[in-house]
């Protein structure tokens, strides 16, 4: 009787672990993304259908320096693929006529001709082959949370601070878009000083009031995120979300310092981008420390799973 129980337990373990593992191995070997198409709104207003993996190659070429480590490029490929597939599902519901465009409104993208122009003929073949390796090496891989594609947001550099929580930058939270270390080695990589005379400041903010010299109270940070970036700012008596002010003034980030004189406002920014999700420069620095694509992605998107897309 005891032996019968041992055999029953062994059989149960096979069913629970070995069979699902075998199925996963079979699915991995059978992945084929060649039939997945994505509709891209081009700068001329035309909508072109592209194979998903070709589109992802163009995104990496536009979004991340080709000189980066291959594991960082792989992380970018997975993030871009996840973002694109989530958009694909949303656009089909909304029936907007396309899934993505080629700008920062979705993901920037480069055509073959634009890649040649960006890199030059000598580097074109070398860099394109490197990016193709990153795309093929992650073919079909996406990030999911609770069975759904995540919003795989990313940015250039978090600068001197950790990444931001989604709810501190936009209106809703995401469990996987939280404060994590930037992973960056050079915390002063992006430091930018921008000056605004009163006339230019009024113009950029769309203010019609009469010009006057600036005072110390004309620029104040009213609220900050957990990392210390600006969340709300009062400028010339009006309150702006820091993300909106960043757009209006053309700032690189919301991690700001400032000095104000009657004739000039000077703003210093640290980092580059909205600071939510994956830091691209951080991903490259982690890759240089021998972190692989999965380790990089799970660092920036905690609680998510890297797996094969069910749309592939």
**Do 280 and 248 have their domain in common?**
no
**Do 242 and 144 have their domain in common?**
no
The yes-or-no verdict on residue 292 having pLDDT over 90 is yes
pLDDT-derived band of residue 198, with 50, 70 and 90 as boundaries? very high
- DSSP 8-class letter at 217: G
Mean pLDDT of the 68-95 span: 89
Mean pLDDT of the 60-86 span: 97
The yes-or-no verdict on residue 76 having pLDDT over 50 is yes
pLDDT at 93: 54
- Distance in angstroms (rounded) separating the CA atoms of residues 140 and 312: 6
The yes-or-no verdict on residue 290 having pLDDT over 50 is yes
**Cβ-contact 106, 58 below 8 angstroms:** no
**Do 137 and 234 have their domain in common?**
no
Tokens of residue 170, six digits: 């936009």
Q: Is residue 297 part of a domain?
A: yes
Condensed to tens digits (0 to 9), the pLDDT of residues 112-134 reads 999 999 999 999 999 999 999 99
Q: Is residue 29 part of a domain?
A: no
Mean pLDDT of the 167-195 span: 95
- In the sheet that 100-101 helps form, which strands lie side by side, from edge to edge? 47-51, 37-41, 100-101
Condensed to tens digits (0 to 9), the pLDDT of residues 146-162 reads 999 999 999 999 999 99
Cβ neighbours, 10 Å, residue 220: 14
**Do 94 and 154 have their domain in common?**
yes
Mean pLDDT of the 17-32 span: 37
Residue tagged 């081009």 (tokens): 42
**Do 153 and 286 have their domain in common?**
yes
Q: Is residue 4 part of a domain?
A: no
pLDDT-derived band of residue 4, with 50, 70 and 90 as boundaries? low
Q: Is residue 11 part of a domain?
A: no
The yes-or-no verdict on residue 7 having pLDDT over 70 is no
pLDDT at 309: 67
- Distance in angstroms (rounded) separating the CA atoms of residues 16 and 18: 6
**Do 248 and 285 have their domain in common?**
no
How many domains are there within the chain?
Answer: 2
**Do 44 and 143 have their domain in common?**
yes
- In the sheet that 256-261 helps form, which strands lie side by side, from edge to edge? 191-196, 264-270, 256-261
Instruction: Give the pairing of strands 100-101 and 47-51.
Output: unpaired
Tokens of residue 232, six digits: 């709300």
**Do 228 and 259 have their domain in common?**
yes
The yes-or-no verdict on residue 221 having pLDDT over 50 is yes
pLDDT at 97: 86
- Distance in angstroms (rounded) separating the CA atoms of residues 33 and 10: 37
**Do 111 and 71 have their domain in common?**
yes
**Helix crossing, 70-94 with 293-300: angle to 10°?**
60
**Do 155 and 206 have their domain in common?**
no
**Do 104 and 239 have their domain in common?**
no
Condensed to tens digits (0 to 9), the pLDDT of residues 202-215 reads 999 999 999 999 99
Kind and range of the H or E element at 299?
helix 293-300
pLDDT at 91: 62
Q: Is residue 172 part of a domain?
A: no
- Distance in angstroms (rounded) separating the CA atoms of residues 107 and 112: 16
The yes-or-no verdict on residue 23 having pLDDT over 50 is no
pLDDT at 133: 96
pLDDT at 24: 35
**Do 119 and 248 have their domain in common?**
no
**Helix crossing, 112-136 with 70-94: angle to 10°?**
110
Query: What's the angle, vertex CA 309, arms to CA 101 and CA 300, rounded to 5?
Result: 75
155: helix, strand or coil:
strand
Tokens of residue 287, six digits: 């890759």
Question: To the nearest whole percent, how much of the chain has pLDDT over 70?
Answer: 87
| Domain range enclosing 210 | 191-270
CA dihedral (82, 137, 295, 102) positive or negative: negative
Tokens of residue 102, six digits: 């080629």
Q: How far is CA 106 from CA 119, 229, 279, in A?
A: 23, 24, 17
Q: Is residue 27 part of a domain?
A: no
């Amino acid at each position: 009787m005891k032996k019968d129980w041992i055999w029953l337990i062994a059989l149960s373990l096979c069913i629970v672990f070995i069979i699902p593992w075998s199925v996963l191995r079979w699915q991995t070997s059978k992945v084929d993304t060649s039939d997945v198409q994505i509709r891209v709104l081009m700068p001329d207003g035309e909508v072109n259908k592209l194979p998903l993996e070709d589109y992802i190659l163009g995104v990496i070429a536009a979004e991340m320096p080709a000189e980066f480590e291959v594991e960082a490029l792989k992380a970018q490929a997975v993030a871009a693929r996840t973002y694109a597939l989530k958009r694909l599902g949303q656009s089909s519901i909304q029936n907007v006529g396309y899934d993505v465009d080629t700008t920062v409104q979705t993901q920037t993208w480069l055509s073959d001709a634009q890649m040649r122009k960006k890199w030059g003929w000598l580097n074109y073949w070398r860099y394109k082959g490197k990016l193709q390796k990153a795309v093929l090496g992650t073919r079909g891989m996406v990030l999911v949370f609770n069975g759904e594609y995540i919003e795989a947001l990313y940015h250039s550099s978090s600068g001197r601070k950790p990444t931001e929580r989604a709810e501190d930058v936009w209106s809703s939270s995401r469990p996987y878009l939280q404060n994590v270390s930037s992973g960056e080695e050079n915390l002063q990589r992006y430091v930018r000083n921008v000056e605004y005379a009163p006339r230019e400041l009024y113009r950029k903010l769309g203010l019609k009031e009469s010009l006057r010299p600036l005072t110390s109270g004309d620029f104040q940070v009213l609220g900050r995120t957990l990392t210390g970036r600006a969340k709300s700012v009062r400028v010339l008596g009006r309150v702006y979300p820091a993300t909106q002010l960043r757009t209006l003034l053309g700032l690189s980030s919301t991690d700001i310092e400032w000095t104000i004189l009657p004739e000039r406002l000077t703003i210093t920014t640290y980092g580059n981008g909205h600071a939510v999700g994956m830091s691209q420069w951080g991903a490259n620095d982690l890759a240089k420390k021998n972190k692989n694509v999965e380790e990089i992605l799970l660092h920036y998107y905690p609680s998510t799973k890297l797996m094969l897309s069910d749309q592939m």
